[in-house]
Structure 1
Amino acid sequence: MNHPLPHSDVLKHIVDVHCHPTDSEITEEHMRELEITICAMATRQDDQELVADLASKYPDKVIPCFGFHPWFTHWICTLTGPPPPKEEHYRYVLREQLKSEQHEKDFNRLLDYLPDPIALDDCLANLRQNLYKFPQAMVGEVGMDRSARIPFDYRVEKRELSKFVVPFDHQIEILEAQLHVAVELKRNVSLHSVKSPKPTADLLERMRLEHGALWSEINLDLHSCGLSPELWRIIERKHSNVFLSLSTAINTRSLNHLKLIEAVSPTRLLVESDIHQVWQTTSRCWEMLSIIGETKGWKVENNWEIEGVEEPFGVVRRIDANWALFARGIHVSRTID
Structure 2
Amino acid sequence: MESLPEQVLRHIVDVHCHPTDAPSISAESMERLKITVCAMSTHKADQSLVRDLATSYPTKVVPCFGYHPWFTHTISVGLRSSKYEHYRELLLGDKDSSPETISAFDELLPLLPEPMTLDEVILDLRRNFASFSSTTAMLGEVGLDRGFRVAFDYHAFPRRLSPFTIPLEHQLTILEAQIDLAVELGRNVSLHSVKCPLATVDLLNKLKIKHGPRWERIRIDIHSCSMNPQVWTALQKGHTNAFLSLSTVINSRSNNMKALITACSSNRILIESDFNDIDVCTERCIEMLKIVADVKAWSTEESWLEGVPESDWGVVRRLEANWKAFRDGGEKL
* TM-score, scaled relative to structure 2: 0.96
Query: 1:113 deviation in Å?
Result: 1.2
CA offsets 1:273-317 (integer angstroms, 9 cap, x no match) = 001001100010011000000110000111113797696210000
Residues 56-71 of structure 1: matches in 2 within 5 Å? Answer: 56-71=55-70
Residue-pair matches, total: 329
- In 2, Cα distance between the equivalents of 1:11 and 1:98? 56
| Equivalent residue, structure 2, for 1:5 | 3
- Which residue does the alignment assign to 2:163? 163
Instruction: Judge conservation of contact 1:36–1:282 (CA < 8 Å) in 2.
Output: yes
1:266 and 2:256 correspond: no
Q: Secondary structure at the match of 1:94?
A: helix
Shift of 1:99: 1.8
Counterpart for residue 125 of structure 1: 123
Q: Provide the residue aligned with 1:75 in structure 2.
A: 74
The two structures, once aligned, show a CA RMSD in angstroms of 1.5
**Partner amino acid, structure 2, of 1:21:** P
Distance across 2 between alignment mates of 1:67 and 1:256: 29
CA distance 1:210–1:286, change in 2 (3 Å): same
What secondary structure sits across from 1:250 in the alignment? helix
Q: State the alpha-carbon separation in 2 of the partners of residues 13 and 274 from structure 1.
A: 18
Partner of 2:104: 106
Aligned to 2:154, the other structure's residue is in SS state coil
Map of 1:321 onto structure 2: 321
Deviation string 1:90-147 (CA, Å, 9 cap, x unpaired) is 0111133662211110000011211111111011000000001111210000000001
Three-state SS of the structure 2 residue aligned to 1:18 is strand
Alignment of 1:192-203 (within 5 A): 192-203=192-203
Matched residues in 1 for 2:309 and 2:317: separation? 14
Evaluate the alpha carbon distance shift between residue 308 and residue 214 of structure 1 in structure 2; reply closer, same or farther with a 3 A threshold.
closer
Match of residue 41 from structure 1 = 40
**Distance in 2 separating the partners of 1:310 and 1:143:** 35
Q: How does 1:224-303 map to 2 (within 5 A)?
A: 224-303=224-303
Cα distance in 2, alignment partners of residues 111 and 328 from structure 1: 43
Distance 1:295 1:95 in 2: 46
Contact kept? 1:219, 1:331, Cα under 8 Å: no
Letter aligned with residue 268 of structure 2: R
Q: What residue in structure 1 maps to residue 83 of structure 2?
A: 86
Per-residue deviation, 1:240? 0.2
d(CA) in 2 for partners of 1:17, 1:77: 30
CA distance in 2 between counterparts of 1:5 and 1:197 reads 35
SS in 2 for 1:39: strand
Query: Residue 309 and residue 165 in structure 1: after superposition, are their counterparts in 2 closer, same or farther (change >3 A)?
Result: closer
Counterparts of 1:204 and 1:302 in 2: how far apart (Å)?
Answer: 39
Letter in 2 for 1:107: F
Unpaired segments ≥5 residues, structure 1: none
Q: Distance in 2 between matches of 1:192 and 1:310?
A: 32
Per the alignment, residue 175 of structure 2 pairs with 175
Aligned with 1:253: secondary structure?
coil
- In the superposition, the TM-score normalised over structure 1's length comes to 0.95
**CA distance 1:85–1:317, shift in 2 (3 Å):** same
CA distance, structure 2, for counterparts of residue 23 and residue 281 of structure 1: 13
CA distance in 1 between counterparts of 2:263 and 2:173 reads 31
